[in-house]
Structure 1
Amino acid sequence: MDFAESDEHALLRKGMADLVKQFPREYWRQKDLAEEFPQEYWDALSKQGWLGLLVPEEYGGAGLNMYEAHIAAYEAARNGAGVPGGDLLMRTYMFGTYPIRQFGSAGLKERWLPRIAEGKAIFSIGHTEPVAGVNTFDIETFAERRAGEFVVNGQKIWMTLAHRADAILLVARTKRKEEVRDKSDGLTLFLLDTRESKIRTARLPASVMRPLGENVVYFEDTSIPEENVIGEVDRGWRYLVNVFNAERLGTASVAAGAGEYVLDLAVEYAKTRSVFGRPIGSNQAVSFPLAEIRMYLEAAKILLQKAAWRFDRGEDPSVEGNMAAYIASEAAWRAADQAVQTFGGLGFSVEMDIERYYRDLRLFKTAPVPREMVFNFISRRVLGLPRTF
């Protein structure tokens, strides 16, 4: 693996940075306070072709890969768009383009990939449920096959952007749990077109990613055509694993980028804020924690690069992806927490924006993969220890 960055990747970073800097912190602060979708930012992404980054050229996109998707999500968050701005890119790439491009039928590709490239498709994912949580094998949402379509009934929770989504990547059972021997059997991935299929959403008041919005979604005799299956019926787990690997890479990129941005804010404040006749950054109690966080963030970046590199080589990126998800979430949260401490009372001021990063970056320690589940994965897959659950 070569750590020297290509001219193309350097231009990609600069292009995203230039776009995001058109939307200052005040823009994101107002969107957060109003809980309003960042339409102007979305339109700019669309106009400059960022939403079609992974879309093959024959469908109107740039035809790039996961390494470039990681760069785009990272740089969006790194340059001020923060968690909501980076997450918008992540879900377009990982819940929209990637599963359709890799596992969708020719018909799905023709219908959806051009729309993604044109900025006409907002995506959500329907996975987490009130009882099952993130335990995929315990989900109860059921899709019954009837005369050329599937009829879905069930409930999902914490569905970001579901109230605005044009499409939902839906995980549902097509066999009851009691009908299967292998717990991964009987799961199916669907692409649900919200223009054609009936769903009911209810906004969840939440302290994180307020411009995007969290939802409970009810599926009540919701019809999905058979041709909207992603991959194969009853074998959705094997496709979902790949989507999860992509999601780990995407969310870790957003966390690391946003963490670096908020760290920069804290460092700049530590250089300019004077107390007792000298900058507070001259005190080891202030400077040492910031230096430690910088090292954690650099470790996260290296793990992200390796995970993306393996992804694009067709290798299993799950170990590096899960490690990156943990290290990035931990480093980003520490950066936000230490930024509050560095700013002191001003760290709680809405106008300083630190409290917003503090809220948003705490999310990644819990979702999309709790750190405890990362520990479970690494202890079994890397250390060879017995299952703990």
Structure 2
Amino acid sequence: MVALVLLTGVGPFATDAYLAALPELRRSLDTSATVAQLTLTAFIIGMAAGQLLLGPVSDVRGRRGIVLVSTLSFTLLSLLCVVASSGGVLVLARLGQGIAAGTGVALGRAMVTDAWQGTQAAARFGSIASVTFLGPVLAPAVGGVILDHGDWRTVFLALTGLGAAMAVAALVGLPETLPAHRRQAGGPREAVGRMAGLLRDRGFLTHLTVLCLAIAGFFTYIGGSSFVFQTVYRMDEARYTLIFATNAAGMAGAGLLFRVLVTRLGAGPLRAAGVGASTVATLALLVVALVDRQTAPPLAVPWALLAVVVTGMGLTLPATTALAQEAGRHSAGTAAALQGGLGFLAGALVTPLTGLLGYASLLPLAAAMAVFFVAASGVLLVLARPRRGFSVTSQP
């Protein structure tokens, strides 16, 4: 589990660890702000590509070899970031680093599916999720501490050490979980066929749709809440960071609660509770925003409602991941690739939504979030089959 947490958690951590150093990075490399920001965009694109491309390959070649190559690649590419002499080199290194990190995310999910079944697998997803949820929150703070004693290259040097720890943990702690007799036929055509087959499967498609809609609502909050709070409530960055970190802690706590409750209640009811809580909270936020468009409600009101939204995601994400992986167990790597890749792309596409709709009031943020979470609830009510959830099973 330590190896799996590192494998799936390093990517989210590496996304944000150096954000505070972007201005310094631009000056140091004598490049533009656009190129500096491209180092982040390239990593996100790489994360999605790594999951979509190498998840299906692992169904053919096995997991362990690809995991070892990806962890070693992440370490070496992090070192390349340390010594990068230009913005272009750093962008390319970050793209490769993202591909390696995305590969780890997809294969980590697939290895859980290989090694455990039913609610035991779901419990492991809950444990992994509760740690990885904290990555984007802790990364800027840890990066800030590192920057107090170094520069942006020092941050990537720390990521190099983290990558080395991940590689050692994978080498020591992760056996091959997909034996040869369970592997799929090789070739791009077969990989596309497996993806198409999963997307035609009603159960898997339902889980994937719910996941993408919930992630879209969540990333709308991530991309827009800072603008809304700082514009509507004249909030400085430190106060907003406190709000964001508090909400993220609630999500991590919900992930731990999921770990405890899933063996008793099952993943389906816990997902329904998570999606329902987020939907009700966003609708309440929409009502609050509509009641008086001219005067902002007291800060405690949107803070509390958004905390409920984010905490609900702590149940929704691990539950939906577990259910989708169970539905796609026969091609676990491909299932993980579709979940991670398409979910990541959905989040990336909606992140600028609040900027397009406006952030002079709570209304655009609340309306956009409500659309996505109501749609997720609608998919659950119309398409999902709650009684097809899985029960407690023993480890193979």
TM-score by length of 1: 0.29
TM-score by length of 2: 0.28
Q: Which has the higher contact order (CA 8 A, sep 6+)?
A: 2
Q: Which has the higher strand share?
A: 1
Q: Which has the higher helix share?
A: 2
